[in-house]
């Protein structure tokens, strides 16, 4: 089975207009992406005594006061790197998984690909408060900002057809795009000093691999092998040039990518089956399994592009309905802190009404990433009777919008 190339008049994403200066933030409440909050330090406080048996090296007493040593940041970053190892390993897994899915969707399409700066990300976390504690002291070390770090090396993939070269954001707002723009809340230094350095080396290599996959010169499986190989090489070089917490982060990345590379090398078929969520007989012939994988690539492309096309209509509808809500006489523009002004609040209300009126609620829920049951749960979660009342009023306003009633989605 061979995948057909995409024609110059076929849809593969909306035209890439100039991006706004500020990125659009996905809201964790709407479950639009697979973004992760910080599950290592959910309480926003780190006691470094828990991480090191050498806390006496971190602080010393000057008179009656305990103070930090001048180079405390070196200890802080090294401690944070070790503490966040589970999230860093997941960060690496996501980087590999998303690139494989991008190759699967692009395989044999004949499109040309570039990358733009990310336009979407999830919310960042608040700063971490770090303390050194002992039997006789508790010293506030510092705070460390946390960033929503993209796991994907190509979060905003721009495609163009070789005949017209019109740039389009590939499969924008599909599950593929959402996965590529999913983030993990990590300490700031990991994002700025580690991820950006890795992307500087890895992004050109990833685009070169994706181009060959798009032209059908190599399969996504071969492209994945080369991607992990290049990733391992770049990380090995970065480890040799860095020190402290940054080096520890790169070392965690390197060990994880080596584990994945080994698993892939030992049983490529099983590795691909897990990435594609396939359950097949272990005794299946290699030719038949290859054919199944090819059909999966074809289905991924078809599903992601169809979902992207559908979501552009939904996004247009969202904008129309929100403009209608914002111009109604009932809307009080003086209440700048009103929950009605929150983007997620109005978008959530619209999704609720769309799901109420949809004939195939299950399919629409999957496409939006928003289960219908979430409406009832969300109304109960809101703090206080006043917020629940405002949210329900927002839903009623959306119901009265002619756009929503006659949407036909």
Q: Following DSSP, what letter does each residue of 346-366 receive, concatenated? A: HHHHHHHHHHHH-SSHHHHHH
Q: What percent of the chain has pLDDT over 70?
A: 74
The single-letter DSSP state of residue 275 is H
Instruction: Determine the pLDDT at residue 61.
Output: 54
- pLDDT-derived band at 330 (thresholds 50, 70, 90) equals very low
* Helix boundaries (H) for 4-117: 72-83, 85-106
Stated as kind and residue range, the H or E segment containing 66 is: strand 65-68
Residue 317 has pLDDT above 60, yes or no: yes
**Residue range 138-143: average pLDDT?**
68
30's CB contacts (< 8 A; 6+ apart) are 344, 347, 348, 351, 369, 370
CA proximity to 180, closest of 113, 122, 244: 122
Stated as kind and residue range, the H or E segment containing 214 is: helix 196-214
**Residue range 110-132: average pLDDT?**
85
Instruction: Determine the pLDDT at residue 313.
Output: 85
When the pLDDT of each residue in the chain is averaged and rounded to a whole number, the result is 81
**Residue range 123-145: average pLDDT?**
73
**Residue range 165-171: average pLDDT?**
93
Instruction: Determine the pLDDT at residue 385.
Output: 58
More confident residue, 288 or 75: 288
The model's pTM: 0.85
**What's the CA angle centered on 253, arms 271 and 106, to 5 degrees?**
50
**Residue range 293-322: average pLDDT?**
87
More confident residue, 338 or 208: 208
Per DSSP bridges, beta strands 146-150 and 183-187 are antiparallel
Q: How many CB atoms lie within 10 A of CB 327?
A: 9
Rounded Cα distance, 200 and 188, in Å = 17
CA proximity to 107, closest of 199, 202, 222, 203: 222
């Amino acid at each position: 089975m061979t995948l057909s190339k995409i024609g110059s008049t076929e849809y593969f994403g909306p035209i890439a207009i100039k991006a706004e200066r500020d990125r659009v933030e996905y809201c964790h409440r709407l479950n639009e992406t697979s973004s992760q909050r910080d599950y290592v330090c959910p309480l926003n406080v780190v006691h470094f005594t828990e991480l090191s048996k050498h806390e006496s090296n971190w602080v010393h007493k000057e008179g009656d006061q305990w103070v930090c040593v001048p180079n405390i940041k070196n200890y802080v970053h090294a401690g944070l790197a070790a503490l966040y190892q589970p999230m860093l390993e997941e960060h690496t897994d996501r980087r590999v998984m998303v690139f494989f899915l991008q190759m699967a969707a692009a395989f044999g399409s004949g499109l040309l690909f570039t990358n733009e700066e990310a336009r979407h990300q999830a919310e960042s976390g608040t700063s971490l408060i770090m303390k050194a504690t002992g039997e006789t002291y508790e010293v506030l070390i510092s705070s460390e900002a946390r960033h929503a770090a993209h796991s994907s090396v190509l979060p905003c993939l721009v495609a163009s057809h070789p005949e017209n070269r019109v740039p389009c954001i590939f499969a924008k707002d599909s599950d593929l795009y959402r996965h590529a723009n999913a983030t993990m809340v990590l300490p700031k230094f990991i994002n700025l000093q580690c991820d950006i350095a890795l992307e500087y080396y890895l992004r050109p290599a990833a685009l070169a691999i994706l181009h060959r996959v798009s032209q059908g010169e190599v399969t996504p499986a071969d492209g994945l092998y080369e991607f992990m190989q290049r990733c391992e090489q770049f990380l090995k070089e970065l480890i040799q040039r860095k020190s402290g917490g940054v080096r520890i982060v790169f070392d965690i990345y390197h060990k994880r990518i080596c584990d994945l590379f080994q698993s892939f090398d030992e049983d490529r078929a099983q590795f691909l089956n897990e990435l594609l969520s396939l359950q097949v007989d272990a005794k299946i012939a290699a030719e038949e399994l290859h054919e199944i994988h090819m059909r999966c690539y074809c289905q991924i492309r078809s599903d992601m592009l169809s979902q992207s096309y559908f979501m552009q209509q939904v996004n247009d509808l969202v904008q129309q309905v929100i403009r209608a809500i914002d111009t109604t006489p009932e809307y009080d523009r003086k209440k700048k802190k009103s929950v009605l002004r929150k983007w997620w609040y109005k978008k959530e209300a619209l999704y609720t009404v769309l799901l109420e009126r949809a004939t195939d609620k299950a399919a629409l829920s999957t496409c939006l990433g928003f289960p219908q049951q979430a409406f009832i749960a969300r109304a109960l979660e809101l703090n206080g009777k006043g917020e629940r009342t405002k949210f329900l009023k927002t839903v009623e306003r959306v119901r009265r919008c002619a756009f929503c009633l006659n949407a036909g989605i």
